[in-house]
């Protein structure tokens, strides 16, 4: 009886595993940012090095635009003293970004092979993406903030 129960548990576990993975994949797909979805779709259409570079450049521009929209929305929602803190933090982040880009470029300049070209651009894009999401997160957690109207993507 114990052996049959153990076999039943094993079978149910094996059957449940693909279902759990499928639901996790669906949840990740639904949670994926539209810019990331567009990048993935673009690369799926043209996976060549030149295609990946072009797609990632578009995504970089979209994340930069997203960052500027998030920053502007947050600035409109903050009080004067908070605005100054955000402005100073953003200026320091720009310095950080520029130094991080120099590091990324210095690292990738030593690597040979065309695969490193899209990897360099992706690394730079990730820096801007993280800041865009961070500023959006700050906006979402501001106590007493006014509702920021999101522009369509």
pLDDT (tens digit, 0 to 9) for every residue of the chain, 153 residues total?
A: 666 544 445 444 545 555 454 445 445 555 899 999 999 999 999 999 999 999 999 999 999 999 999 999 999 999 999 999 999 999 999 999 999 999 999 999 999 999 999 999 999 999 999 999 999 998 877 654 444 444 444
The per-residue pLDDT for 31 is: 82
The per-residue pLDDT for 147 is: 45
55 lies in the same domain as 103: yes
83 lies in the same domain as 18: no
Residue span of the structural domain in which 54 resides: 34-141
CATH number for the domain harbouring residue 39:
1.20.1270
The per-residue pLDDT for 86 is: 96
Q: Tell me 147's DSSP state.
A: P
Q: What angle do CA 81, 85, 87 make, to 5 degrees?
A: 115
Determine contact, residues 78/145, Cβ cutoff 8 Å. yes
65 lies in the same domain as 130: yes
75 lies in the same domain as 123: yes
Residues 6+ apart with CB under 8 A from 46: 52, 54, 55
> Is residue 148 assigned to a domain?
no
Nearest to 130 by CA among 102, 107, 103, 96: 96
The per-residue pLDDT for 3 is: 63
> Is residue 151 assigned to a domain?
no
Domain count, the chain: 2
- The structure's pTM equals 0.73
134 lies in the same domain as 70: yes
> Is residue 131 assigned to a domain?
yes
d(CA 69, CA 63): 10
């Amino acid at each position: 009886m114990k052996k049959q129960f153990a076999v039943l548990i094993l079978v149910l576990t094996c059957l449940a595993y693909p279902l759990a993975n499928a639901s996790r994949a669906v949840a990740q797909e639904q949670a994926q940012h539209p810019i990331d979805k567009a990048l993935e779709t673009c690369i799926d259409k043209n996976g060549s090095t030149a295609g990946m570079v072009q797609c990632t450049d578009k995504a970089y521009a979209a994340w930069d635009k997203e960052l500027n929209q998030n920053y502007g929305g947050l600035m409109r929602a903050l009080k004067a003293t908070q605005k100054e803190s955000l402005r100073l933090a953003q200026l320091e982040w720009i310095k950080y970004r520029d130094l991080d880009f120099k590091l990324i470029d210095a690292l990738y300049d030593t690597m040979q092979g065309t695969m490193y070209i899209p990897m360099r651009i992706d690394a730079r894009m990730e820096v801007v993406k993280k800041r865009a999401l961070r500023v959006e997160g700050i906006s979402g957690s501001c106590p007493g903030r006014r509702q920021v109207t999101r522009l369509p993507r």
